Every structure is written in C-alpha cells, then in structure tokens.
Amino acid sequence: MESNPLLNWNDLPSFDQIEIGHIEPGIHAVLERCERSVVRLEETAPCTWHALMDPLEKIEDDLGRTWGIVSHLHGVKNSPELREVYDPLLAEVVKFSNRLGQSGPLYQAFCALRDSDEAKQFEPAQERILASAIHEAELNGVGLDDAGRERYNEISERLAELSTKFSNNVLDATKAYRITLTESEEVDGLPATLLELAADTARQEGHEQATSSDGPWVLTLDYPSFMPFMQHSKRRDLREQMYRAFVSKASDGQWDNRDVAREIVALRNDKCRLLGFNTFAELSLSRKMAPDAGSVRGLLNELSSASRGAAKHDMEALKALAGVEKDGELRHWDVPYWSERLRETRYDLKDEELRPYFPLPRVLNGLFELTERLFEVRLEETTGEAPVWHEDVQYFRVYDDRNEPVAGFYLDPYSRPAEKQGGAWMDTLVGRSAVMASSGQAARLPVAYMICNQGKPVGGKPSLMTFREVETLFHEFGHALQHMLTNIDYGMASGISNVEWDAVEIASQFMENWCYDRATLKGLARHYETDEPLPDEIIDRLLGARTFREGSNTLRQVNFGLLDMELHEGFDPEGSETILDVQRRIDAQTLILPSLAEDRFFCSFSHIFAGGYAAGYYSYKWSEVLSADAFSAFQEAGLDNDGEMRRLGRRFRDTILALGGSRHPMDVFRDFRGREPTTEALLRQGGLLEAGGESR
C-alpha cells in the first residue's frame, strides 16, 4: 500500500500514476482503516467536541478524499475496465457509509454532546455540524430496528447501483449515436467551428483524410455537436432525425433507462416510508432551505404565471419569422433553428460571429481579473506542478492579498464523449480543514475540480466559446469560489459542506450575472487573431438579448422542477400511471409546444436519477431568486463605481463565499443583503415584469 498513488499523497494526487489496478486494493485498505477507527470511537463514545467530532471528521475525510478521486475518474475518464472495478466498490462504500450513519453509540454521543455544558460555548459552525450529524443519523436509519436497518441498507446499495447504471446508460447511448455526412449539401448552414469538430470526430473514427471543407463529417448527440447542428443546419430532415434521437436517448434497447428510473423512484418511496416520511419530497426537503413542498410549488407556479404569456409570444414570433400561420405547424426541430434566426434578426447576433471574441485563454483572464477585483485574490496557472488525468487539464493556485496561497483548482474544459460525462460541474478534491492540516499548517487548503464540455481546439485555433459556454464557465467558477474562499476551519462546514442543496447555486448564478456587465465583457472578449476588443455596438446587442426567450427558458425550468416534484411527492410507480404518463401530464401543463410521442426525456434526466437533485431540481430557481437579489445590490451601488464594487465584493466574500455551511443560508443572505430576498430582481432581470409578461 505504501506505493499506491491513490493513497499516498499530501498536496495533490499523482493522477498520472493512478492505474485501475490501484483502485480496488486502495479502497479496501481505506475501508479497513476507517472501520478500525469507527470501532475505537464507538468503544469510547466520548462526549467532547475534540474527542468525538475531530476523529469523525478524519474518518469521513479519509474515505471521502480517496473514493472522491475514483468517482472523479469515473466521470472524466470512464471505461469498461474502470466500471468493472467501480460498481462493486461503490456498493462497499455505501455499505460502510450506512454502517457509520447508523451507529447507535455515535448517535448517543452526538446527543450527549448536544446536551452538555460544552455545547453552550459552541461556535455557530459547531452547532450546525452537530445538529446536521444528529439529523443525518436519523435519516440514515439509526432509529430503525434490525429488520428496518437491513432493508434500508439494501435500498441504499441498490439505489447507488441503479444511479450508476442510469448515468452509464446515458453516456453509452450518447456515445453510440452518430450520423455521418458526406455531401456538402448535407452540411449547408453549419458554422466552420462545427465542421471542424465534425471532421475531427470523423478522423478519430477512422476517416483519416476527413477535412472541415470536404468531409466526411460525423455528428453526435454530445452537446457541442448536437446544439450547433440544431441551430444552424438548413436540412430540416436531418434536424428532425437528430432531435428524435436526442429526446428518446437511453429509452430503448440495451441502454433503456425506463425500468431503471421506475425502480429508483419505487426504492426512494420505500426509504422515506421506512424513516417515517409521507413522501420522498418530504424527506428530501428536511435537508433543504425550502420549508415544504407547498413553498416549492408556490415558487414554480409564480414563475410559470410570470413566464407563460412571454413564452406564447416567443412561439408566435418564431412562427412569424418562419412564415408559419398563427395556428400552423412549427415542429420541435424547427425551434432551435428559427430561434437562432430570430436572435440574429432582432439583435444581429450570431454565435459563430461571437466565438472568435471568446477564446478560452482570454475568457479565463477576464474571469480572473473580475475575481481579483471583487474578492481581493490572485490566480496563477501552475499546470506543470500538478499531475493531471488528461493532457488538456490545467491547474491553478489562488493567493490572497498578502500573496499567501489559499486554494487550488483543476480545469478540465473540453468535451471527450468517449470517456467523459456530458454537462458541466464543480466537485471537491479536498476541503479546508484545521483537523486535516499538515504539520506547520493552520488549515489544509481546499482544492476543487471544474469540469466543462466545450469544443476543444481544432484547426490550430484555441477553443472558441459560445456565449452560453462563457456563462457556464462563470457558473462553475462561482461554485469553485464558494469552496475555495471559505474561512471556516471546521471541515464539516467549510466551503459547500453542510450548505443546504437549494442554496448551493447562489454563488454560481451570481457569477453568471457578470457576463452581462459591460466592463467585464470588455475585459474578457477580444478577437483571438487580432486582439480587437468586442465592439461596443455588439456588446449593446448582447446585453439587449439577455431577456431573449426568457419566458420559454423559465417555463422549461419550471417543467423540469414540476416533473421532479411530481415524481417524488405523489407518484406511485406500482400504480397504473407510468413515469412517461407523468412527464406527459406535466408537459401538457407547462409546454407551449406539445411533446412528441417518443419524447422520453426522463430517461436522460441525470440530475434527478443519477445526481443529487431528486426532489431538488427546483433549487436552480430557488437559488436564482437569491443570486439575482444579491447581484441587484451591486447594480444599485453602480457597476462602474469601483470603490463600491470592491466594498460589496468583500462583503459578498465575507458572507456567502466565506461562511460555508456554518450558518443557515437565509441568515447568511441577510448578513449580505440586510433583508430577506424577493422574486422582483429575478423577474426584472428576465424581462418578465413587462406589461403582459412579454420578454423582449
């Protein structure tokens, strides 16, 4: 074990040395070590913070940082060989986690510590950590009898297995579908960046002579390929083919997720009943900021009412541009294409004309300059110092205003559909912790992963980003900032630890708002060849386009949120209604354009079936209310007032970014804003407070 690079590292792991053969013995060694530590702790059951909570943090950190690497590689370097090792080990990790969470001696020790005289002197972070430990133990079934615990553990292990299967099916179904185009007429309208990507994909698949000008071109369901094709292809028949494949992804054949999703919902219902909850939504919300399902539905219904009229106007505008009669037919595969044409008509904006102004290196510089201005930190690339899992990965260190290191993060920016999950996310390698500090350190410094899936550099050009990809980068960096700029030394409440799920998007969505700040745009948008800044007239149009189709976009998020809540609040998977029936019912209530018969979107809804968003997808909109309100404080002070920006930036850092899970997020928000949030800023930001709710 001494030579196992999965286990033996201090600052950063040796990703370049970790092999699949290291994983099984490494995880087994950690599990055995953690089990011995738990037994010792149970035997003494101490009732002081340092004797009870510090050893517990070490146990959880030991397993978390090691298994976290394996989970990370499963997401970014997936392979059949890794899956063969990962799947059975996941069951063992879940089994140990349940055993730890169901420890009666530890639960009794938590309660004794809560009731002790020492607890009267606790800091807010300690109070929150202890309350969470007690609540999580109860949700882990510590109060169940032997038969109940056995059933709970069976459910947990099966759910972990099913979630992994769901996500693998989505990855495999995405990877398996492609269309190969060979005639120039078939690629009519496609932008140069997509042609280069499609030719590069073709070369990887054996068409060694493929070029962007002559083909062949291979298109896939991976988002950097799929969405530009839908927006620009003049071949309606091919758009239809791609769209139908996309909405039925992972819903038949060997990667069919229909039964997987149904069993996941059924097992979640079983779990909640075991624990004394009426619904899984009730169980899920017991860990969240929203007080109950009624509050969630209230927000979603408010947003639906505010956006429906605007969404109808959006559809009529597309029909008018496409030359379709008011009650005529505009199909789903027409919407992205005509939306892009409408945006070009209204704002004279074309993604492909914007891309040259958003090369990844320049965008990163602009993002870092903003971060340094607002939060008084400095970011420096140190890629050569950090072993990485792929040659495209970069590493950065973060320094405070005294030039002391405070954090680090990896950036894995490009799509690799053969091995990397789609989407974008931030995850943690290690968190800030005094208990886990090395000798001579006051606290171990946090390290984050930032994962995106934009187009890679091709044709000798850097990765040229769409504006949406710029927003995504800012979003994930907001998550990373909350993880990295925490000042809480208790590992169980630092960064994003112990933050309610529906509050964890506040920092990420707050950072997205800066993509629409003129000064920020001028700083990050420069032509990759000429270094010419993005012209003011284009910035004007880009800012004007912010509310473009916001009614439709909001209604889409409401649709996802309501589907999630319906499946986890009142749906009986053993009844006559299927998940597809529920999707159809929610679609009929929310969508302007009725869904297709083969639309089985739920089969690739990884957020709720393979992520952490079950009965929590509403969190995006819940957090967005808070983030828009927080950003409005900067707008009210004047975005061009540098002194006020620094003052407010420092307050934002000292509250929302710094306090982690040490206090309730509503208290943290009030510390920053001076009051509770309202939906007004979000609705105004989206142009949904206009007369008639029309987004312009």
Q: How far, CA to CA in Å, does 299 sit from each of 293, 296, 383, 623?
A: 10, 5, 43, 11
From the list 157, 196, 471, 476, the catalytic residue is 476
Pairing assessment for the beta strands 425-430 and 178-181 based on DSSP bridges:
unpaired
- Alpha carbons 512 and 468: distance in angstroms, whole number: 10
Residue 114 has pLDDT above 90, yes or no: yes
pLDDT of residue 317: 95
- Alpha carbons 533 and 522: distance in angstroms, whole number: 7
pLDDT of residue 331: 95
Q: 230, 337 in Cβ contact below 8 A?
A: yes
CB atoms within 10 A of CB 638: 11
Q: 657, 482 in Cβ contact below 8 A?
A: yes
Residue 694 has pLDDT above 80, yes or no: no
- Alpha carbons 547 and 684: distance in angstroms, whole number: 9
Mean pLDDT of 100-128: 97
Over residues 367-386, the pLDDT tens digits come to 999 999 999 999 999 999 99
Instruction: Tell me which of 48-52, 528-532, 687-691 is least confident.
Output: 687-691
Q: How far, CA to CA in Å, does 371 sit from each of 196, 366, 376, 447, 636?
A: 33, 9, 7, 17, 20
The pLDDT > 90 percentage for the chain reads 93
Mean pLDDT of 449-474: 94
pLDDT band at 48 (very low <50, low <70, confident <90, very high): very high
pLDDT of residue 2: 65
Amino acid code (one letter) for 607: H
Mean pLDDT of 507-518: 96
Residue 327 has pLDDT above 80, yes or no: no
Listed in sequence order, the residues at least 6 apart from 229 whose beta carbon sits closer than 8 Å to its beta carbon are 190, 194, 219, 238, 239, 242
Amino acid code (one letter) for 394: Q
Over residues 54-98, the pLDDT tens digits come to 999 999 999 999 999 999 999 999 999 999 999 999 999 999 999
Q: 239, 337 in Cβ contact below 8 A?
A: yes
pLDDT of residue 689: 77
Mean pLDDT of 504-524: 95
- For residue 130, give the nearest of 656, 490, 665, 658 by alpha carbon: 490
Listed in sequence order, the residues at least 6 apart from 430 whose beta carbon sits closer than 8 Å to its beta carbon are 61, 65, 436, 444, 446, 447
Residue 361 has pLDDT above 60, yes or no: yes
pLDDT of residue 469: 95
Residue 300 has pLDDT above 90, yes or no: yes
Over residues 235-291, the pLDDT tens digits come to 999 999 999 999 999 999 999 999 999 999 999 999 999 999 999 999 999 999 999
pLDDT of residue 458: 85
pLDDT of residue 325: 67
Mean pLDDT of 556-569: 97
Q: State both tokens at 470.
A: 């710029």
- Alpha carbons 66 and 71: distance in angstroms, whole number: 9
Tell me if the pTM is above 0.85: yes
Residue 26 has pLDDT above 50, yes or no: yes
Q: 498, 661 in Cβ contact below 8 A?
A: yes
**Mean pLDDT rounded to a whole number for the chain:** 95
Q: State both tokens at 668.
A: 């943290």
Over residues 384-398, the pLDDT tens digits come to 999 999 999 999 999
Q: How far, CA to CA in Å, does 500 sit from each of 220, 503, 613, 619?
A: 36, 5, 12, 10
Q: 219, 179 in Cβ contact below 8 A?
A: yes
- Alpha carbons 639 and 373: distance in angstroms, whole number: 12
Q: State both tokens at 103.
A: 């420890």
Looking at residue 596, the DSSP 8-state letter turns out to be P
- Alpha carbons 686 and 696: distance in angstroms, whole number: 9
pLDDT of residue 691: 37
The pLDDT > 70 percentage for the chain reads 98
Residue 145 has pLDDT above 60, yes or no: yes
Residue 693 has pLDDT above 50, yes or no: no
Residue 525 has pLDDT above 60, yes or no: yes
Q: Is 476 a catalytic residue?
A: yes
- Alpha carbons 276 and 271: distance in angstroms, whole number: 9
pLDDT band at 690 (very low <50, low <70, confident <90, very high): low
Three-state SS string across 633-688, please? HHHHHCCCCHHHHHHHHHHHHHHHHCCCCCCCHHHHHHHHHCCCCCCHHHHHHCCC
Mean pLDDT of 15-21: 96
Mean pLDDT of 609-625: 95
Local structure of 276: helix, strand or coil: coil
- Alpha carbons 141 and 161: distance in angstroms, whole number: 20
Local structure of 181: helix, strand or coil: strand
pLDDT of residue 695: 37
List, in order of start, the domains of the chain with CATH numbers: 20-143 (1.20.1050.40), 177-249 (no CATH), 355-491 (3.40.390.10)
Rg over CA atoms, the chain: 25
- Alpha carbons 568 and 286: distance in angstroms, whole number: 14
- For residue 340, give the nearest of 354, 326, 329, 359 by alpha carbon: 354
Q: State both tokens at 76.
A: 């970014």
- For residue 502, give the nearest of 300, 674, 265 by alpha carbon: 300
Q: How many CA atoms lie within 13 A of 28 on its CB side?
A: 8
Q: How far apart are the first and last CA of the chain?
A: 62
Mean pLDDT of 13-21: 96
pLDDT band at 696 (very low <50, low <70, confident <90, very high): very low
Over residues 589-599, the pLDDT tens digits come to 999 999 999 99
- Alpha carbons 513 and 633: distance in angstroms, whole number: 12
Mean pLDDT of 415-420: 91
Q: How far, CA to CA in Å, does 187 sit from each of 213, 218, 359, 509?
A: 10, 11, 24, 36
